[in-house]
Structure 1
Amino acid sequence: MTLTDQDFKIDVTSEIGNLRVLLVHSPDSGLGKVVPSKAQDWLFEDIVHLDTMRRKEYDYYIKLLMYFLDPAKIKGKLSEIDSAETKRDFFKPDNAAFHNSTKVIEIQTLLGDILQKDDIRKKLVAAVCAIESCNYRLQLQLIDTAPIELAKIFISGSLDDDTMIFAPIPNLIFSRDLGIAINNHILLNKPAKKARSRETLLMRYIFFNHPMFEAYRNNIIEISENKQHFLRPGEVNEEKTTLEGGDVMMVSPQHLIIGCSERTSISGANEAIKLLFENDVVSKITIVKIPHKRDYMHIDTVFTQVKRNMWVLLRSLTITETEQSQNEPIAWFADKKNKDKPEIVQFRKGKKPKTFDTLEALLDNISQKDLESTEPTKFIYSGNDEFPFDAREQWTDSCNLLALKDGVVLGYDRNDKTVEAFKQSGFNVIHVTDLLPKFETGEIDPQKMKDTLILMPSAELSRARGGFHCMSMPLKRDSVF
């Protein structure tokens, strides 16, 4: 990387400010080695077709990001890049045609950079071999492996894309889960599942050792286990201290949301509150407790922000008991209260906690009070709030959108009813395959786009159970004020 700490700034104060820099990881060969018998252990619901995911889906994501964040790398070169794809990939760092952007930063590139240093390489090899139970001869072999190749091995789990020496880490494409930029700090997360241990280790080494983050070493916050956690009974304990990035949203300069979910524990949220308040990173943290269900997993699977006064969310999580009782024809609501209704508590430094009855109430408060919207808050519901499409489309990430700027968001092209809801809310909708040529000719200027849902191909990406919010770790956004 040519980027140094002199050029680089961490600054994220919202979910919707113009996106300037982010970390991503493009699909690697490890995703093509997930087998059905291990899919759920490796946190996948299905196996994917790697080549389709790479060339016909994720490739569009990287190109779109380039037009918004680093146009000099792509404007005027699209046909050349497309023609080269049969031989080399624009999005993979070990290929000749790799973009090597300093705005759309590939995790594998950063890993390769730090492995150039002998002492770091030896330490990281030892750490990886320890958690993967490798033998000593293999450890020596890895130490002597070229840094760029070693980075691939650490991620894919394979030597020469052939011999598997340990499990792949296919979830690395969901870069957000491993770290979150909060103002000018980085919160290093603590994933819940063993399958993500190596990812966490690699990201920790990157943040603490890459020169790009040199100026921010004292601004890196690590989540630790509770003291004497090793005395807890049993191998599996629900009170483990865990926190994942899909449960963390920086919604305004002083306000952070943390979800308690299947992947983020109460203990993890408490530890984050303590550390963030102690370090004066934010002054207000809202805890949103959602059911521990695979359907939801993280809070960003049930709501994300579209623009200053608009959010997309799953309405079934917010329906009140009164509304349910009035909805008698709906059999699945009969004879039960809304057990899935979130519990929402807001903590403010020096003030008493505050509660919210519904997600809409919280999100309206953020738009109107924190972000000072001059327009009423609006909500777009998954599946256009129609059963069974609301649940079906939430499962395929209708609520997991990435805002490139206020009002311009990315989502999957398969969520038809949610797309209808966006249109009814006055949004333009365009498919990325139609949009990129218009960027190239200058017919559309990315910086002038407003109120637009950009649809992305999703047949294989959606099988991984994560949308573009999951597949991004923003490091710099413009201020919304």
Structure 2
Amino acid sequence: MNPLYVGSEVGQLRRVLLHRPERALNLLTPSNCHELLFDDVLSVERAGEEHDAFAQTLRDQGVEVLLLHDLLVETLSNSDAKQWLLDTQISDYRLGNCFAQDVREFLAEQPNEELATILLGGLSFSELPLRPDSMMQAMHAGTDFVLEPLPNHLFTRDTSCWIYGGVSLNPMAKAARQRETNHLRAIYRWHPLFSKQDFTYFYGNDEVNYDNATIEGGDVLVIGNGAVLVGMSERTTPQGVEHLAASLFKHGQATQVLALDLPKHRSCMHLDTVMTHMREDTFSIYPEVVRPDTPCWRLVPGKEGRIATYRETHFLPAIETALNLDKIELITTGGDSYEAEREQWNDANNVLTIKPGVVIGYERNTYTNEKYDKAGIQVLPIPGNELGRGRGGARCMSCPIERDSL
């Protein structure tokens, strides 16, 4: 089997991509955190320790952990990749003709380790040893960013998602995250771990304006048996879903896509914040959002390359049919209504399945973890008091590269 293959949400997880918090979190402040899509600043050292515990838990389960920073450093050793990233991330349109050229020349002289740190973590005007001879420099304070930090790279699930035998390089909805995708474009194109493998680009590999057709990996669940479940959230649009579905059908990698219409607000910014797959027949859900009346559509290949779309009366029978199951078990967020709302906000439903019935989740969500345990789901607890401030749990912080089918 191609080692770059994700056949399900619950089969044995074998390789995963993570990003340890670093420079970007150091540059996160109360005055810029909301613009950078964080609700609060984090204790950087503690967040790093929590992420190390997450990575070690994965390794203890036999999962190979790839780190984004390391892959980017290794990719930058390829001169074509380095030039492409400099041209793309520091374009003339971003910084103006003259200033962009000066910044690119400065960055090109940096060691690859330092360059990767800057691309991921940002660069301020005060850090540039350049003569202030452009309007850009004259009009900015030293603490302003030439290149904004990317703290949301922590959530590697969103930027790219592997679906069966290929990958979607996701056009992100928010400006604060759109540069992230270029790092994955470069890694998948030039890093020898990927460049020597045969896989399909489903979506997002072209350097075009994707306009309203955005999609993020937290909304994409590869539930198996040729089916994909997608949430249409504040970040993923119907246009994006249709484009992804059309490519999956064209390449014969999926037989149907089920699309759920979610509320468009931050507390359920992605499907996996309110619903995850934990065992072949078991899902975790937050029932205040994932309800019997949640609108659901089934997309299947149509005639002459078109998509045939059908409105489903209820998402549960649609999933049961897709997975050839008689009945699906739903485990709802634990505690009373107040406790459940708090635990959903703290990513109780956003667990990462390692193998059927074994998941990683934040230890702080005691009521929900107890319900999982009673249902026969083993929770491998990790600390998340700091990491959780970014509004993402174990699934958000992981991009599976290799996982077994059901």
Please classify the TM superposition score into its range, dividing by the shorter chain length. 0.7 to 0.9
Residue pair 1:318, 1:358 contacting (<8 A) in 2 also = no
What pairs up with 1:168-207 in 2 under 5 angstroms? 168-207=149-188
- 1:407 has 2:357 as partner: yes
Letter matched to residue 295 of structure 2: E
Q: 1:21–1:474: 8 Å Cα contact kept in structure 2?
A: yes
Report how far residue 228 of structure 1 moved.
Answer: 9.2
Match of residue 40 from structure 2:
46
Identify the match of residue 278 of structure 1 among 250, 274, 285: 250
Q: 1:288 to 1:469 in 2, by over 3 A?
A: same
Partner of 2:61: 68
Count of residues in Structure 1 that have an aligned counterpart in Structure 2:
381
> Deviation of residue 226 (structure 1)?
13
Deviations 1:135-183 (A, max 9, x none): 3222101111111221111111148x97764211000011010111111
- 1:224 Cα deviation (Å)? 7.7
Aligned-partner Cα distance in 1 for 2:206–2:2: 31
Find out whether 1:300 has 2:250 as its counterpart: no
- Alignment of 1:135 with 2:104, yes or no, is no
Q: Percent identity?
A: 28
Show the counterpart of 1:313.
Answer: 285
Shift of 1:318: 4.1
Contact 2:4 2:199 in 1 (8 A): no
CA distance in 1, matches of 2:207, 2:261: 20
Match of 1:462 in 2: 388
Q: SS of 1:69's equivalent?
A: coil
**1:371-382 to 2 correspondences below 5 Å:** 372=325, 376-382=327-333
The aligned residue for residue 117 of structure 1 is 78
- d(CA) in 2 for partners of 1:211, 1:202: 15
Q: Deviations over 1:270-326 (max 9, x none)?
A: 111122212222111111111111111111111001111111101122445xxxxxx
Give the whole-Å Cα distance in 2 for the aligned partners of 1:228 and 1:67. Answer: 42
**TM-score between both structures, scaled by the size of structure 1:** 0.74
Q: Which has the higher strand share?
A: 2
Q: Kindly tell me: are residues 318 and 179 of structure 1, through their superposed partners in 2, closer, same or farther at Cα, counting changes over 3 Å? A: closer
Shift, 1:422, TM fit: 1.7
Matched residue type, 2:213:
T
Aligned mates of 2:254, 2:207 — CA distance in 1: 22
The offset of 1:215, in angstroms, is 4.0
Decide whether the 8 Å contact of 1:224 with 1:271 is kept in 2. no
Alpha-carbon offset, residue 245 of structure 1: 0.4
User: Which secondary structure state, in structure 1, belongs to the residue aligned with residue 31 of structure 2?
Assistant: helix
Tell me, yes or no, if structure 1 residue 36 matches structure 2 residue 8: no
Offset from partner CA, 1:437-479 (integer Å, 9 cap, x none): xxxxxxxxxxxxxx31111111101100001111111111123
Aligned CA distance change for structure 1 residues 393 and 361 (closer, same or farther; 3 Å): farther
Which TM-score applies when normalising by structure 2? Answer: 0.87
Residue 383 (structure 1) shift: 2.5
Ranges in structure 1 where 5+ consecutive residues have no aligned partner: 1-6, 71-102, 230-238, 321-340, 428-450
Tell me the residue number matched to 1:75. Answer: none
Gaps of 5+ in 2: 129-144
Instruction: Say whether the 8 Å CA contact 2:225–2:322 is kept in structure 1.
Output: no
Residue type at the aligned position of 2:228: L
Q: Which residue of 2 aligns with 1:108?
A: 69
